[in-house]
Structure 1
Amino acid sequence: MILVVNAGSSSIKFKLFDISNSSNPISKVEGLAERISVDGRLTIEIEGEKHEFNNQMNDHLDAVQLILNKFTELKVIEKPEDIKGIGFRIVHGGDKVVKPVEITDEIKKTIEENIRLAPLHNPGALTSINAFEKSLPNAKLVGCFDTSYHQTMPEVNYMYTVPYEWYSKYQVRKYGFHGISYEYIAFKAQEIFNKKQENLNLIVCHLGNGASVCAIKNGKSFNTTMGLTPLAGLMMGTRSGDIDPSIIQYISKETGKDLFEITDILNKQSGLQGISEISSDMRDVIEQSTKGNDKASLAVELYTQIVADFIVKFANQINDKIDGIIFTAGIGENAALIREKITQKSNLLGLVIDSQLNEEKYSDYLNISSKESKISILKVRTNEELMICNETLKFL
């Protein structure tokens, strides 16, 4: 078995893969330990059947031990040692980690050093790594970093137009995120387009509550919308995306709020939530938009225009034949209206969606472009957990 872990400061999301057939890992078990250090709740889903437990979990070590105990009780595994490898999703590896790595003391130090760049995500990852290391000392631990896929970006695409010392002294640069998802899509695209990855040019829109676009040139990340942090780029569920930085100083003067409070608002009260004043969930915003709510309609129009602008910009930067425009993640995979509006607004590229295919259900991927479209348009189910499982498997 390989366990894939995505940990936060008070939660551990996990998926268990059977690797008996190493060429086709299968997952029938997933779950979530949440409210760690509060009161504790564990949900384990086995082939669609949910098992829920309310147990006090004082820390991540308690949570890990509870997960392993319940795996045994529910006969998911015979013994904890059946888990041979654990793959961790880690948000920030800075510019040192360029591929999945076995977790060593040096890698843990790198994760710790980058807490200043990802204060909300890296601490939970590090805590869970230490907890699993104690509970399963013989398992191979592997780190997959969201930032590592984007380390192929050329300097001209990752540098900011600020004093160079900010980069050399404080590592201020674009890092990009959602890298594991983009890596999976690039890998999957080989099958879809029947081409080697190094020959693929794609523009991938990872549109979920957090959202970004990535230009993939010759199979590698060439540019992306998120920056030093995941706040940059697109309008998202609660994040503003790119704004005039002087707004922060202006609002501080007008309201008396400090830069930490304003940054918190830009992260947690902006985007769809901020404009619509209804919800950060695109489904709710679309529903209210169809009922004539002007702010909801404005949110939808803003969102789709911003994504379309980046698609056109990245197509210009790739400056070569583009194999496909791909929509993935929660909104990208499921919101037909958003896909339609984005492609309509990417005027220079001649994108045309087939309305019927755009609405059609699918399990893996579906080409939704009309015959008139100059570039193929697809919706593809991303699978970050499978990507992490396969990377972990390499180390076994």
Structure 2
Amino acid sequence: MSSKVLVINSGSSSIKYQLLDVETGEALATGLLERIGQPVGAIKHQGPAGTTTLEQPIPDHEAGIATILALFAAHGPQFEAADLAAVGHRVVQGGDRFPGPVLVDDAVETAIDELSTLAPLHNPPNLDGIRAARHAFPTVPHVAVFDTSFHTTLPPAAYTYAIDRTIAKTYAIRRYGAHGTSHRYVARRTAELLGKDPADVNVIVLHLGNGASATAVRGGRSVETSMGLTPLEGLVMGTRSGDIDPAVVFHLQRVAGMTTDELDDLLNRRSGMLGLSGSSDMRDVHDAVAAGDEVARTALEVYFHRIKSYVGSYYAHLGRVDAITFTAGIGENDDIVRINSLAGLERLGIRVDAERNAGRKKSECVISPDGAEVTVFVIPTNEELEIAREALDVVAASGV
């Protein structure tokens, strides 16, 4: 069987893709289509011939997939459908229906559509990409890999909200988590770097990007995570508030007359670091702090405080922590965030070596001092490779 998998991550106005050789872990080609549905789309394809950039209309996801195939044909690597073991698709919300990746058929498409009520911004475009790709590759197995699947191992005490249980059951209200593909990849890679079986390792993964989440992983299984029913709960993010007293919503409805849509926009798109400091880009926040901006300084302190609170909580839940691992855009590139998020936790065996921590990290590394009780890593995430691996495993197990 071929070890090549085409991974597709379809958003509302974009499609990210990679052609991977799972056996070697090599990305044979990567690309990004943006501004789908707008008058002029932007296209970037990186393959054996180098980088190709184009601007042309991409009216919908069907046209987007057709454009991707044309890019492979013109700029390589060239392949036939028979060369693919699978097409792997990122899907954000699998609810409690999909504890793992699954071969896509019409029934799975229907289920993904029904779960859109839990992820209205993500599942519909994920499904658009699946449908377009199934049309383009009708003879290739398609596999849906869900962000929520890794967190289906959460115990009831972790995923249950303390609200009326009949209402919760009727409307599927519980904590589902997100970023599961990244957390799974990083937790497994952390164990490998420690030279241990994942079943023997407890790790706290800090996925810090514009969206941010923390996960406690015990023996390779997610046992607690910061995101909840939606990706709004948890850490302070680029534009999302993270944890907030629910009564804030009622208060703003009553005293400010804000509608549900206005509140949704406030908490998801105008809060977080943007709401606190005026910018969702952490580099701008650091520049403002360096220039003496006390508002930006407070914003950073809120950001650090929230991460530290989750680390302490997850340490308590795990009982023993072998490693803490930073990943994603901020986690990999922001040494100020890394060192300040763990400052003051030395009594827990958590220390960061300032020299090892300095600068952006493009490769896996240890940033804790030798002999530290808890090893602190920076590990660049590779969600596409994880999706490709899981897709290949599903196809192999199914005998398709």
Coarse TM-score class (shorter-chain normalised): over 0.9
CA contact (8 A) 1:146 1:180 kept: yes
Would you say the 8 A contact 2:214–2:225 is kept in 1? yes
**Residues 343 and 352, structure 1, Cα contact 8 Å, conserved in 2:** yes
Find out whether 1:30 has 2:30 as its counterpart.
yes
Matches within 5 A, 1:142-153: 142-153=143-154
User: Which residue of 1 is the match for residue 47 of structure 2?
Assistant: 46
Bigger Cα displacement from structure 2, 356-365 vs 178-187: 356-365
1:296 positional shift: 0.9
Deviation at 1:347, TM superposition (A): 5.7
Q: Which residue of 2 aligns with 1:366?
A: 365
Determine if the alignment matches structure 1 residue 14 to structure 2 residue 17: yes
Q: 1:155-178 CA distances to partner (integer Å, 9 max, x unpaired)?
A: 000000111112211110000000
Match of 2:261 in 1: 260
Q: Distance in 1 between matches of 2:342 and 2:214?
A: 14
Structure-2 residue corresponding to 1:377: 376
Change (3 A) 1:54 1:382: same
Shift in alpha-carbon separation, 1:329–1:75, aligned structure 2, 3 A: closer
Give the 3 Å change call, closer, same or farther, for CA 53–364 of structure 1 in structure 2: same
> How far did residue 41 of structure 1 move?
2.3
Please identify, of 366-375 and 54-63, the stretch whose mean Cα deviation from structure 2 is larger: 366-375
Which amino acid in structure 2 is aligned with residue 106 of structure 1? A
- Distance in 2 (CA, whole Å) between partners of 1:299 and 1:374 is 30
Secondary structure of the 1:9 match is coil
Distance in 2 between the 1:78 and 1:38 partners? 29
Deviations 1:109-137 (A, max 9, x none): 22111100000000001111110111111
User: How far apart, in 2, do the equivalents of 1:26 and 1:372 lie?
Assistant: 34
Question: What is the Cα deviation at residue 78 of structure 1?
Answer: 4.2
* Distance across 1 between alignment mates of 2:142 and 2:130: 8
Match of 2:323 in 1: 324
Instruction: Structure 2: give runs of 5+ residues left out of the alignment.
Output: none
1:348 CA drift (Å): 4.8
| 3-state secondary structure, aligned to 2:280 | coil
Which deviates more from structure 2 when the two are superposed, residues 134-143 or residues 220-229? Answer: 134-143
CA–CA distance in structure 2, aligned partners of residues 371 and 124 of structure 1: 46
RMSD: 1.6
Q: Residues 203-214 of structure 1: matches in 2 within 5 Å?
A: 203-214=204-215
Deviates more, 1:369-378 or 1:83-92: 369-378
Gap change, CA 1:362 and 1:286, over 3 Å in 2: closer
SS in 2 for 1:2: strand
Partner of 1:99 in structure 2? 100
Q: How many Å separate the matches in 2 of 1:326 and 1:25?
A: 21
- 1:59 corresponds in structure 2 to 60
2:32–2:43 contact (8 Å) kept in structure 1: yes
Alignment map for 1:1-396 (pairs within 5 Å): 1-17=4-20, 19=21, 22-39=22-39, 40-46=41-47, 49-79=50-80, 81-277=82-278, 279-319=279-319, 321-346=320-345, 348-359=347-358, 362-371=361-370, 373-394=372-393, 395-396=395-396
Q: Number of residue pairs matched?
A: 391
CA–CA distance in 2 between the matches of 1:41 and 1:33?
6
Amino acid at match of 1:322: V
TM-score, with length taken from structure 2: 0.94
Question: Relative to structure 2, which stretch is displaced further, 293-302 or 368-377?
Answer: 368-377
Task: Report deviation, 1:372.
Answer: 6.3
Identity value in percent: 37
Structure 1 residue 286 displacement after superposition: 1.1
Shift in Å, 1:346: 3.4
Following superposition, the deviation at residue 75 of structure 1 comes to 3.0
The C-alpha deviation readout for 1:277-321, integer Å capped at 9, x for no partner, is: 2x10111111111111111111111001100001000100112x2
Please tell me whether the aligned partners of residues 213 and 224 of structure 1 are also in contact (alpha carbons under 8 angstroms): yes
1:362 CA displacement: 4.4
CA apart distance, 1:81: 4.7
Single out whichever of 248-257 and 114-123 deviates more from structure 2.
248-257
**What CA distance in whole angstroms lies between the structure 1 residues aligned with 2:126 and 2:264?**
23
Shift of 1:333: 1.0
How has the CA–CA distance of structure 1 residues 48 and 328 changed in structure 2, closer, same or farther, with 3 Å as cutoff? farther
The two structures have a TM-score, normalised by structure 1, of 0.95
Q: Structure 2: how far apart are the matches of 1:245 and 1:143?
A: 33
Residue 47 (structure 1) shift = 5.5
What secondary structure does 2:56 align onto? coil
Deviations 1:325-350 (A, max 9, x none): 11111111111111111111436524
Q: Conserved in 2, the CA contact under 8 Å of 1:309 and 1:346?
A: no
- Distance in 1 separating the partners of 2:248 and 2:334: 31
User: Residues 24 and 274 from structure 1, CA distance in 2 versus in 1: closer, same or farther, beyond 3 angstroms?
Assistant: same
Q: Deviations over 1:21-53 (max 9, x none)?
A: x52131131111121121222211225932122
Moved more, 265-274 or 98-107: 98-107
Distance in structure 2 (CA, Å) of the matches to 1:123 and 1:332: 29
1:56 positional shift: 1.9
- Partners of 2:49 and 2:318 lie apart in 1 by 42
Distance 1:337 1:193, change over 3 A: same
